[in-house]
Every structure is written in C-alpha cells, then in structure tokens.
A and B are shown apart, each in its own frame.
Chain A
C-alpha cells in the first residue's frame, strides 16, 4: 500500500516538473521581438520617424529605418505607435514589504520633521546601531516581486525604479530594479546603488530631534573613519594590537566616505538642501538630492558641488477645502505650490543634472499629469523625456545598460499610442528585459466597464433627514480617488475602491454632530446610481444614495 502511494506521489511530482519545464520552455521560446513601422525616440540620437526595433535575448539587437524583422521574431506592428526607452522612476519604495501611508506634501509642505507616524525602519541582524541608524541595511535583501504598486507603475510606462528603504536616518542602500521578474534576483539591475539618508528623528530615543540627527550622522562618519584606520593598521600587523571590534554599520559607511558610493539625501526646502550640501561638503560626500522641491534656488551651489537632483513629481496641491471661516493660507504656501511646477524647468535652464521620481504619489497615474504641468511651466518635453530615461541612468551609474534605445542595452521599452506626454496618449506595450509585460486596463475604467468617474450628488441620511453633499470620483482600474464637499465638511476620500461587480467603498472624514469622524461608505453601483450604507463609529448607521451630477472637472 505505501509503495503504491509513493508511486503516485512520484508520478504527480514528475508530471508537475514536466509542466514547469513546458511552461519555462514556452516562456523562453520567444525571446526575439521586432516592433516594426514605429516611430522611435532613442533619446541618445535623432528620432526615427518610421523604423524597427529588434529585441533579442533581453537586449536591444537592432534599431534602424531599414532593419527587416528577423524570421524568428514575433512581429509587433508599430504603426501609429512610438517607442521610447523604458521610463525610470528614480526614487520609490516599490517591491518593499510592509506598505505604509507616507506623508504627502499636498497640504502645504513644511513640518516634515514632525510628520505623522512613520513606518518602522528596516533593521539588520547583529547591528551595533539602533534601527534607523543602520547604513548596512540593503534593500536587495528585502525586496519581493509582484504587487499592485509595481503593476500600476508599469501601466504608465515605468520599467525601472530605484527602490529605497522606507525610512530611517541612515536608511540603508538602494537597488535599481526592473519592474518584472519572478524573483528578486531577476529584478535587480544594480545593487547597491546609493546610500540613503533621511533626516527624520528616531522615535523614543536619541536622536529625537533634527539637531540630534545631524550630530549622529557626523559622529558615525567620524567613527567610520577611525574604524577604517584601526582595521587597516590591525590588518597590517595584528600582533600586539587589540583587535578592533567588527562593526558592520561603520564598515558600510566606508564606500560612502571614500566617494565610491553616492549618498542620496532627502531634502525639499531650500534650507534642507543647503544643510545637505553643507554636510556633504564637510565630509566630501558624493551627494545626490532627492525631493528637491526648491532646488532651483540653489543651482549655483548644486553646480559648484556637482550635485544632481532626483526631483519629485509629487507636486504640492490644495487637496482639501476647509471650513468657511478658516483664515486664508499664507502667501508662502500659495507660492510654494505654484513654484514647485517651475523647478524642473529652472534646473534644466541652469544646467543642473536631474531625474524625475514619483515621490510617493498616492496615485501613480498622477505622475504623467504632473509631468504635463511641469512642461507647461517651462520644461522642454525633450528634457522631460531625458529626465525619465538617460539622465536617471547617468545619475545612478547605469548609462551603459539603460536610458536609451541603443544596441546592446537592456531592452526596456515603453511603447505608446500618441506622444508620451500627451494627455490622451495611451501606453500600448511595455517591454522589460526584452519581454512584453501584461498591462491592466488603462485608467478610466477601460472598455466594457462602467466608469464611476465624475461628479455625484449624494444624499446622506444619518437618521435626521437627508443631507446633500457632492462627491467627485476618479476611477483608475479598481482604484478610486476623489473628494467630497458639502455641509458635512470637505476632504479627500481614502481607502477607495470599486470591484468588477460594482461595489464601491471609501472612507472620508465628516463633520457629524460637531465632531470630525471617520465615515465608511459601502455601496453598489446600479442603473447609474450608487446606494449603500454609511458607517460611523459611535453614530447610528446611515444610508446614502448617489446620483450622477455631471462630468469630472
């Protein structure tokens, strides 16, 4: 009897292995593609109005007007399509576990040092330092393939991303990853890329303030220099010398102090950037600024110290409307929002090297909208494309692998119908490491599916008659964003989603009985109406009915 069972197990196992082999064989069978008759924007050279790109074995094999597709290639008709190098997002938390809400600069910026709860920093084993001060943390050890965030990024044409530990002072070391692959190993293009520094104080211990952050950064760099000297001396002649204690944290700082590894510091306001520049000058670090909202005010210093900027496209914007009697916003805040759109143009004009990054945008599809605003505010679209391709490749040290359509480079391609930065363009194909990637339905619902985007008149009944409020919804796939306004207050909705069955769900802060409360709306879309329940802790459950009021603004 056991023997039979064993045989069965073996049989099943063999079958399974066979199946895997077949699947793998199928996958690797096609490794040659040709995109024909397409407009090609190689970035490194002149645009080819009608040409062919051949991809073989994960690399770009040929690019020209007169290439004929090889016989073994799968041909993709590129008529009406434009081929770009795959876009690079130069600062993300993609592929990292433990997603947590990150503060958005939407409201007005500033006060970053006192920001709301932060995710816990990644921690290394046997470190001499507390979590948050561990430069030895490497993102390559914690990344995981897959996930909706990666999909969303690919949907808008991003093929490669620098992924950075979420938080900390010495945050750790980043990796450049391709946004496809079944294993972390397949995804990594280069690791480590840079050391990352944030200036958020630790919670519950030293350093608990921005001043302390600077002091501990300094002290650790001084300690690392001494550690290097001690280890060198000991290695030369260990006899008669007490051995220096092994210290992974300090050892991890040596490439940084010796200028072999750049340091990316998070800095947005002029003074934050000036502080980062000062610290870098003090220790002769190879600095890269990430964020950079006001970097246009320090172009002289950036040029002088040869510091590039990973410029965030998470542009500050009024996200909430407030109570009617609120005081007007300070001019500084109003200026900041307008000027943030002009930074990229000014950097380009001044000749400061920069690359775009999504800067923890809550909705990645806003990225292209924001690029449009930046272009409207003085950045040439050719430079905008460079800031997504060759410039990040150069800044991150992978210009021989990525950033342009050139023979021998990694075949990361973004193919669009219409110009990339045109608001009506659509991403048609994305190739990563020479393979096409499945794209989800594009923003706005896609064909065969009702979109709930638009303005809705909502009647909310909390047991004391109807209250009319206005709801603005934007749908992207199964994700929703938007805002409400009316007698119950105004604000952005969050945790919003819609299922294929038409179940709509979101939470929003309401003013109920003189208090602000979190309300959860659960409804179902039917006949152009959303009906459902409103749940508020401490308040009797209510109902709501939403009817279409008009088109989205």
Chain B
C-alpha cells in the first residue's frame, strides 16, 4: 500500500512537471493513416492507390486497404503523392553565424552552438517538403567548423532539431573562397594565409600532420598513465580533436570544391593520411573526374544548373548529375540557399531534362542519396516500413512546377499543413492589429508606418559569405 501511494505520488509529481507533460503529449501524437496515395518510395518503386500508416514517429505499414486503428487521423490522399521528406545536404538555414573566417583552420567551432530554431526559412522549407538539413559551416577557410544534421522541427527548441545518430561531419573548402580571390586587398592589412591553391593544400596537410602528432601524444599518454598516475594529460585541443576523428573514420568530411585539380588534390591528401572524403560539395567540375571520385568512394552534392558566377565556375555543365551518377557516384542536389531550399524537387527534376536520368534516379538526388551522404539512410530518405515518418503529401507529382505540398510530417507529427496555414492567417492578421495598438508598438511620432528591419540580401548561393539575419 505504502509503495502504491509512493508510486501514485511520484506519478503525480512527474505528471505535474510541465516538461513531462509536454513529453507525454508528444508521445500521444495520434496515429495517422494516409489513404489511397501514389507513393514514391524511391527505393521500392512507385506504388499506386496505397495507404501509409504512421505510428510512434515511424512508418508502421504500407499497403492497400490498411485498417485504420481507432483514434487514427485519416487523410484521404486520393490523387496525391507521398514523397519522403527531402534532404538538403548543404544548408545554412537556422545558423546565427556561418563563417569563422579569421583563421585558416577553425575545426574547433561548431554550428550546433549557433542554431536559431525560430528562423522563418525553416517553415518555408517545410512547405517545400524538406524535412532534414545538413547545416554546414561556410567556405571561408580550408578547414571550417563542424556541421549539424537536423530535422526541421519548427517551433521546438534547438535541442530537439538534432538528428539523433547522424554521423558528425566537418566542412572543408578549396579554391577561390578560401584563397580570398574575391576579397579586395586592403592597404596595411595582412591577407590571411593561404592565397593560392598550393597554400590550401599545405594548410590541410599541416593540419592533419598536427592532428596525427596530437593523436600520438594522447596515445602515448594513455599508455604511460597506466603506470604513472602523476602524469599531466596533454592539452586538449578542440581544433585538432575533430581532425583526429576524421583520421579515425568517425567524422565525415564535406568538402566545398570546384575544379578538377583541387578535387584530385584532396583525394590525394585523404589517401596520404588514410581518411575518406564523404562528399564533395558543389563540385562543378566533378564530371571531369567522376571516375576518380567514384573510386575514392565519395559522394557529390551539387547544383542543377548554376554556373559562371566566378572564374572557377566557368566549366560547369548541367549534365554533371547525370555523368557522375552513371560513373557510380552517389549524387545529391543541394540548395546552399534558403530560397532554393523550398524547391529542391524542381532541382531534382532538372536532372531528367539534362542528361536523361530516370524518374527514380532523379528522385534519389534529394532523398536517399543525401541520406547516404549523411549516414542516415537507415532512418530516412525513402518510404519503407520501420523508417522515420518524415514525408510530405504533394497535391501532384513533385516534379511538376504546379505541385505543392499539402502536409509535411516529421517523426509522424505535422509540422506544415497548407490548410492550417491558410486558416491561421486571419488570426494572425487580428493579432497584428491588436499588437500594433499596444503601447510599445506605437510609433514615436504619429501617423507613419513603422520601419522594416534591415535584412541584407544573401550573396550568391555558393559563396557562403556571412549574412546578417534579422
């Protein structure tokens, strides 16, 4: 009896905690049965007139005429399409700051420290059927900061965005951004090393040499400290620790690059130090060295048709995706832009036009392929039983410019719904009116409309240059 009361009390206490309550509520998210859709599974073909059941954040069943569990939310998707949540393998959304450009090697900085879960771009991306982002450091330096893979759980704290179990990664960058070709030299200001592609190579080789020494120092300490308790451990170096992880195969390298020679250069360094480049990003001349990229086992994450915006982008061709795919490279289409991220479906569709990829090959470019590149292919990237319920219902085939997203699910929960959005607009307008009447929002001088906060437009997509977010 005593025990029973204690348990009852405990339950009451836990239940009364707001955090606990929120968690309980989330677990109780209803099961959802999407009926009679055309399911683009990506990995198992296209299924007509098929139901998909979402339960506990997972895809629980796929098939015809599934029984709806009691209390399940039922969505009639007749004439509609289900596509796995789109994965953007190169994004800078929700980052309060993108570049730590003061040094050539900034592997100690982490994008995870500067997440902004309230960034409105996230909501727009959900509205484009995107559910997962690879948030990368910018391309200001040869070795940049650590990445973060997130699920877009817009409205939740940043900690809930983190994709559990995604492979940690790091951004590298080669070429013009790194050597600062487009940054004007200011009189009296020393330009940051390196200024040439030779220098870029040297910086990376030097960093990995130091990382190898660092690892050895720690290994020696660990061996020696078994006998001698009085040893002071070596200094922990946050710059070199991630590079040791790269050497140990515990961290993926996502390398921004353009021209064939620098791609080969990085492959050579990787071979020299015994690590793998997981993805080449942008990789506009990838088609020239597709065999070498495939042999290294690297993926390529590219634009569909964006070029000529700087010297190193002159040799780009729109057949890049098709050529590399046929050479056996795992290719993805990324946005590198908060705007483009809303229409990655169309970027993928372009690969059918340029280079005649099949529909399935094109779909893979924004779903399972980026999942493979991020080491999350067992969780997302296709519609399969047991995978995370990250998907979107489209009102037409996602490769049509006339199609749009009706509903986007992340872990089985609705994070965007077109009807809800439309219904909410009147409330927001009402709220705006009320708020504008409120004292702190009244203009200092009457009769004039307030000023719009400044937002510096983003530079060209690829540049990854620092922007000011409002």
Contact = CB atoms under 8 A, between A and B. Distances in A.
Given A215-B110, A271-B116, A326 B449 contact: yes
Contacts of B451: 107, 320-323, 326, 329
Interface string B319-345: 000000000000000000000000000
Interface residue SS majority, chain A? mixed
Interface string B425-464: 0001001100110111111111111111100000000000
B448 A324 contact: yes
B106 interface: yes
Contacts of A338: 435, 438, 440-441
A318 B109 contact: no
Given A211-B97, A341-B440, A111 B468 contact: yes
Interface residues of B, number: 59
24 contacts: A110-B469, A205-B102, A208-B100, A209-B99, A209-B114, A215-B238, A271-B96, A271-B116, A300-B18, A300-B19, A318-B441, A318-B442, A318-B444, A320-B443, A321-B445, A326-B451, A331-B435, A335-B435, A337-B438, A337-B441, A338-B440, A373-B439, A472-B444, A483-B444
Nearest to B95: A211
Contacts of B238: 215, 218-219, 222
Contacts of A326: 449-452
B106 to A, nearest CB: 7
B470 interface: yes
Interface in A297-327: 300, 315-327
Contacts of B17: 300
Interface in B229-253: 230, 232-233, 235-238
| Interface core residue of B18, B103, B157, B452 (most chain A CB under 10 Å) | B452
A312 to B, nearest CB: 14
Interface string A212-225: 10110011001100
A492 interface: yes
Given A214-B110, A270-B118, A271-B117, 7 more contacts: A113-B96, A113-B97, A207-B109, A208-B101, A324-B448, A485-B444, A485-B447
Given A111-B469, A300-B18, A331-B435, A214 B450 contact: no
Given A111-B470, A211-B110, A214-B110, A334 B435 contact: yes
Interface in B60-112: 96-103, 106, 108-111
A316 B440 contact: yes
Contacts of A485: 444-448
Given A233-B230, A233-B232, A340 B440 contact: yes
B158 interface: yes
Interface string B114-148: 11111000000000000000000100000001000
Contacts of A215: 100, 106, 108-110, 113, 238
Interface of B: 17-19, 96-103, 106, 108-111, 113-118, 137, 145, 157-159, 230, 232-233, 235-238, 428, 431-432, 435-436, 438-453, 466, 468-470
Contacts of B99: 209
A328 B113 CA distance: 31
In the A-B complex, list the 6 residue pairs whose CB atoms are closest, starting with the nearest.
A485-B445, A322-B451, A211-B109, A337-B440, A321-B443, A334-B435
Contact of A334 (B157, B432, B445): B432
Contacts of B236: 222, 226
